[in-house]
Amino acid sequence: MGESSNKYGGFTLLELLVAITSSTIILGGFLVAFSSLNKSSRLRDMELKSLREGASVRMKIEKALTGASNAIFRTVSNDRVGADVDMLYYYKYDDDNLLTEYGYFFLDEQQQSIDPSYQERLNDVGDPLVMRNLYFNKIDVASTDPAATAELPPDPKNFDLRSSDREVIVHEASDFMVNLTEARTDEADKRVSYNLDYQVSTNFFLDTSSDSTANRRERIFKGSSYVLGKITS
């Protein structure tokens, strides 16, 4: 009967309240630190992905245009998408002047029906966001294909930009520009050289469910390439 009634399991009520408060503060600090660490990790992962894609632009362009007889960058009114599209495209011919390959780099909205990497993102009010990527599509032309011997190559206004074969080069790209010049022609070696200065602007979001400015990161990739093409008759 001599023990105080405010003791509980060997602790006073005050000691118990202090312990609970301290635990809550420690847990809260841990959760804040974990959230900050998780956000930093996501930012690092997204930046690394963006850097890898930016570095791949140069390699893809150089590989595609090597051996090209014609390379052009311009705004094309494409009938397949019904819009003007900034496009870098090229044609390759063999020694018999047969078209063997053509391809094109372009910006377009992602399409759920054909893009394996399709990802829906909503804005702050729940409406879907329009996301664009930088794509590349290459078409190999068989010698029996009428396009191989046609007097004129395929018109870029008819290029199938929504083909399921298209490849994403840069996700969430907002701008694509190329300054392309034919630098030198060597008739004896049947070689033509192209100088390219290109720029790709990208936006990526730390939180895929939000389009807030604070959540968005922007990166601009710039580069230059020197590519040898091929002269055909």
pLDDT digits (tens, 9 = 90+) for 124-165: 677 777 889 999 999 999 999 999 999 899 999 999 999 999
The answer as to whether 1 is a domain residue is: no
The answer to whether residue 6 is domain-embedded is no
User: Residue 157 has which token pair?
Assistant: 């206004």
Q: Please check the confidence at residue 17 and state whether its pLDDT lies above 60.
A: yes
Q: What is the pLDDT of residue 189?
A: 74
Residue 187 has a CB neighbour count (10 Å cut-off) of 8
pLDDT for 116 beyond 50 = yes
The answer to whether residue 8 scores a pLDDT higher than 50 is: no
In a domain, 52, yes or no: yes
* In a domain? residue 128: yes
Tell me the mean pLDDT in the region 171-181: 91
The four Cα atoms 202, 207, 208, 213 give a dihedral, to 10 degrees, of -50
Residue 4 is assigned to a structural domain of this protein = no
Asked if the model's pLDDT at residue 198 lies above 80, the reply is: yes
Who has greater pLDDT, 221 or 98?
98
Residue 39 has pLDDT above 80, yes or no: no
**For the segment 47-88, what is each residue's pLDDT rounded down to a tens digit?**
666 667 777 888 899 999 999 999 999 999 999 899 999 999
Could you tell me what percent of the chain has a pLDDT over 90? 40
Residue 16 pLDDT? 63
Residue 75 lies in a domain: yes
Please tell me the predicted confidence (pLDDT) of residue 52: 73
Domains held by the chain: number: 1
Residue 27's domain spans which residues? 12-230
Report pLDDT for 206.
58
**Does residue 73 belong to any structural domain of this protein?**
yes
Q: How distant, in Å, are the alpha carbons of 95, 100, 103, 145, 157 from that of 140?
A: 16, 6, 9, 10, 18
Q: How far apart are CA 73 and CA 164, in angstroms?
A: 23
Degrees to nearest 5, angle at CA 109 with 138 and 125: 160
Does residue 3 fall inside a structural domain? no
Q: What is the C-alpha separation between 131 and 220, in angstroms, rounded?
A: 17
